[in-house]
Amino acid sequence: MTGLRENMRHIFVVLRSPKGHDIGMFCIFVAISAILWGVLALNEEEQRDIRIPVRLTHVPDSITMLARGPESINASVLVRGSQLLKMSMSSPSLNVDYRVYRQGDHVFLSNADLKALVRNTTGSPQVAVLYPDSISIPFTANPGVRVPVDVDYDVSAGPRSAMVGRPRLSADSVEVFTAGGTHSIRSVRTEPIVIAGLDGRVTRRVRLVAPSGARLIPDSVDVTFEAEPLIIKTRKVVIEPVNVPEGTRLITFPAQMTVTYMVPMSSYTSTDPRFRVVADYRKINRGNGSNMMKLSIVDVPRGLRNVFLANDSAEYIIEQL
């Protein structure tokens, strides 16, 4: 505490000295200059490019806008520094009143209308350039019609996986709004989805393709695809002779052959596929001097992968009855 008092006493002694008096006057003049500069800067006009958000207001619940319209307007305006400071603190928006700018089945603002709104919003006396230079948003009072969603997809599982069921949608139908009738719109499609080598679950947010002049609510959906691992399974199947002439008997050794195949993990215990292993009499090649013949699998159910025989041939003998 004593040291602080000594320091303060030393500062007061310096300030009362002629040198301290000069430093104090210099600081006062610097502060006055900064204030004057700030006042001049805030009142100085300059051309600035600004972006103003657009809000559509006072739209009745019975009206559906068929287009979103611009989210913001880019404007080149003449403004003072004080106006820029005010806008940066308040974040003004361009409020487009549906009741004022409704024309037929559109909300329409000409270039002159937009400039007037920008001047009122910013307090600028001059608006040089606008983008977009006008706004036209169609709307309808017609009720929406609910239609189903079709998924446009090309999705394949990885080599050791299988697709599970059909794609799942967060919304399997949407409402379609148009200015005219919607009787010709039977369904809507998603944008194309392409996935290769899927080995798990994936969800994609995809936009819906709206017919010309229509609006979809919602305009996008979540689509979920799922693939699960494949499990190896085996079973013995009796070899069935086919195309054997009357009065002839074809006998194979062995009489059964092991078939190996892969099924999705979830259906491992419930899957009981019915397929046939055949020995085709017409495919016997007697000219090669061998007593072996080719076997083949037929009537393989869908959903099975990598189906093959433990041995693709068997010994045979032919008996005449």
Q: Which of 215, 210, 201 is nearest to 168 (CA)?
A: 201
Q: What is the pLDDT of residue 128?
A: 72
Query: Please, what's the b/e burial string for 145-157 (b: 16 or more CB within 10 A of its CB; e: otherwise)?
Result: eebebebebebeb
Residues 6+ apart with CB under 8 A from 282: 243
Q: What are phi and psi of 236, to 5 degrees?
A: -90, 135
Beta pairing class for 248-253 and 296-298: unpaired
Q: What is the pLDDT of residue 161?
A: 87
Tokens of residue 253, six digits: 């050794």
Residue 17 gets which letter from DSSP? S
Q: What is the pLDDT of residue 209?
A: 94
Query: Average pLDDT of each block of 10 consecutive residues along the chain (321 residues)?
Result: 59 58 61 54 63 91 90 79 57 89 93 88 74 91 91 91 90 90 81 93 95 91 94 90 91 92 80 86 81 90 83 89 75
C-alpha triplet 190, 193, 199: angle, nearest 5°: 135
Strand partners, 305: 262
Give the type of residue at 204. R
Residue 289 gets which letter from DSSP? -
Q: What is the pLDDT of residue 179?
A: 83
In SS3 terms, 125-161 reads as CEEEEEECCCEEEEEECCCCEEEEEECCEEEEECCCE
Q: What are phi and psi of 175, to 5 degrees?
A: -95, 135
Q: What is the pLDDT of residue 164?
A: 84
Greatest extent of the chain over all pairs of C-alpha atoms, in Å: 139
Burial class (CB in 10 A: 0-12, 13-18, 19+), 166: exposed
Residue 274 gets which letter from DSSP? -
Distance CA 239, CA 176 (A): 58
| Helix pair 18-43, 2-16: axis angle to 10 deg | 80
pTM for the whole thing? 0.65
Q: What is the pLDDT of residue 163?
A: 87
Distance CA 183, CA 189 (A): 17
Distance CA 106, CA 3 (A): 78
Alpha carbon 137 to its chain centroid, in Å, reads: 25
Place of tokens 């007593």: 291
Q: What is the pLDDT of residue 1?
A: 54
Q: What is the pLDDT of residue 3?
A: 57
